[in-house]
C-alpha cells in the first residue's frame, strides 16, 4: 500500500506543480540567460520598481556585477540604491511588520520566485494587471486573482480594463474575462512593455539560479566523460573476458 501511495504521489507531482502556478493561459516568456544586455536592463527595472518593497536577500550586488558583465563601479552607480557595500545582499529597509500593515501580508522575497512560479507565470502576471475598483489598490490580475499588490509598473504599461464575454456553464450563463484592453497608455508601447518585462523576468530567472549556465555546461562535459568511460570500460571488459568460454 505504501509503495502504491508513493507511486501515486510521483504521478501527481506535475499536476500539483502546475496548480501552484495559478490558473489561466500563460504566455511564453522566451528568456535568454546568455543575453547580458537583457539581464542588465532587467536588473535596472528590478532595483527601481521591485526592490522598494521586495527583497532579494539571497543575491549579492557583487555577484550580480560579475555575472552581468558590469564593473563594481557600474553596479554602485546604477544599481545600488539600498546598500552601502558592494558585498551586501539585496535587502530592503521596510520591515516585515510594516509590510503586513500596509499590504495585508509581508511582500515575499523574490530571489527564488522564478523557480517556484516559473518564468512564464511571472511574464504573464506582470502584463495582466487590470482596473478593479473592488480591490484595495484598485487593480486585479488575471493569473493571481485578488492580488494584494499595486500595479507598480503602471506608468510604463498604462491602465488596462477587462473585456467580458458570456459563457454557459452547467446550464447557467456567466460573465468571464475575454481579454484586457488598454484604456490609458503608459510611457511605453505594448511591444516595448512586453520587451521590458521579458528583460525583467530574464533577470529574475537568473537570480533564482545564477550558476545555471555553468551547471548545464558542466553537465554536458560530465556526460561526454561518462560516454568515453563507457567505451573504454566495454573494451576493457572484452579484453579481460576474451579467453573465457
3-state SS, the chain, equals CHHHHHHHHHHHHHHHHHHHCCCCCCCCCCCCCCCHHHHHHHHHHHHHHHCCCCCEEEEEHHHHHHHHCCCHHHHHHHCCCCCCCCCCEECCCCCHHHHHHHHCCCCCCCCCHHHHHCHHHHHHHCCCEEECCCCCCCEEECCCCCCCCCCCCHHHHEEEEEEEEEEEECCEEEEEEEEEEEEEECCCCHHHHHHHHHHHHHHHHHHHCCCHHHHHHHHHHHHHHHHHHHHHHHHHHHHHHCCCC
Query: Can you give the pLDDT at residue 42?
Result: 96
Residue 93 forms part of a structural domain: yes
pLDDT at 103: 79
pLDDT tens string 125-177: 999 999 999 998 999 999 999 998 999 999 999 999 999 999 887 778 888 89
Q: Is residue 13 part of a domain?
A: no
Number of alpha carbons in the 13 Å side-chain half-sphere of residue 171: 0
- Position 185 in a domain: yes
Residue indicated by cell numbers 495559478: 22
Residue 88 · residue 72 · CB < 8 Å? no
What percentage of residues in the chain have a pLDDT greater than 70?
Answer: 90
Give the mean pLDDT of 48-76.
Answer: 90
CATH number assigned to the domain comprising residue 80: 1.10.760.10
Domain extent for 64: 19-238
Q: What is the structure's pLDDT at 20?
A: 42
Q: Residue 16 contacts by C-beta under 8 Å, 6 or more apart in sequence?
A: none
In whole angstroms, what is the distance from residue 160 CA to residue 146 CA?
Answer: 16
Residue 17 has pLDDT above 50, yes or no: no
For the chain, the maximum distance between any two Cα atoms, rounded to a whole number of angstroms, is 85
Task: Determine the average pLDDT of the residues in 103-130.
Answer: 93
pLDDT score recorded for residue 245? 59
pLDDT of residue 167: 87
Q: How many domains does the chain have?
A: 1
* The model's pTM: 0.81
Model confidence over 18-39: pLDDT tens digits?
444 445 689 999 999 999 999 9
C-alpha cell at 178: 475575454
Instruction: Tell me, yes or no, whether 182 lies in a domain.
Output: yes
7 within a domain of the structure (yes/no): no
Q: Which three cell numbers stand for residue 132?
A: 478593479
Asked whether residue 73 is domain-assigned, the answer is: yes
171 domain-assigned? yes
Q: Is residue 89 part of a domain?
A: yes
Q: What is residue 173's predicted lDDT score, i.e. its pLDDT? A: 85
Amino acid at each position: 500500500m505504501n509503495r502504491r501511495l508513493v507511486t501515486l504521489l510521483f504521478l501527481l507531482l506535475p499536476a500539483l506543480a502546475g496548480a501552484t502556478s495559478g490558473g489561466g493561459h500563460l504566455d511564453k516568456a522566451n528568456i535568454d540567460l546568455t543575453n547580458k544586455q537583457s539581464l542588465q536592463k532587467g536588473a535596472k527595472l528590478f532595483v527601481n520598481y521591485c526592490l522598494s518593497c521586495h527583497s532579494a536577500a539571497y543575491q549579492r550586488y557583487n555577484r550580480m556585477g560579475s555575472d552581468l558583465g558590469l564593473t563594481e563601479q557600474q553596479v554602485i552607480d546604477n544599481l545600488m540604491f539600498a546598500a552601502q557595500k558592494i558585498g551586501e545582499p539585496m535587502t530592503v529597509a521596510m520591515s516585515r511588520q510594516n509590510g503586513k500593515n500596509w499590504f495585508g501580508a509581508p511582500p515575499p522575497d523574490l530571489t527564488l520566485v522564478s523557480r517556484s512560479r516559473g518564468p512564464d507565470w511571472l511574464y504573464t502576471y506582470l502584463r495582466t494587471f487590470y482596473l478593479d475598483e473592488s480591490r484595495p489598490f484598485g487593480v486585479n490580475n488575471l493569473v493571481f486573482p485578488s492580488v494584494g499588490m499595486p500595479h507598480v509598473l503602471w506608468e510604463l504599461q498604462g491602465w488596462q480594463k477587462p473585456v467580458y464575454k458570456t459563457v454557459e456553464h452547467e446550464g447557467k450563463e456567466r460573465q468571464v474575462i475575454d481579454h484586457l484592453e488598454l484604456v490609458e497608455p503608459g510611457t511605453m508601447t505594448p511591444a516595448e512593455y512586453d520587451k521590458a518585462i521579458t528583460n525583467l523576468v530574464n533577470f529574475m530567472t537568473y537570480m533564482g539560479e545564477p550558476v545555471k549556465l555553468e551547471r548545464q555546461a558542466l553537465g554536458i562535459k560530465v556526460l561526454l566523460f561518462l560516454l568515453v568511460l563507457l567505451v573504454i570500460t566495454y573494451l576493457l571488459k572484452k579484453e579481460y573476458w576474451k579467453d573465457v568460454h
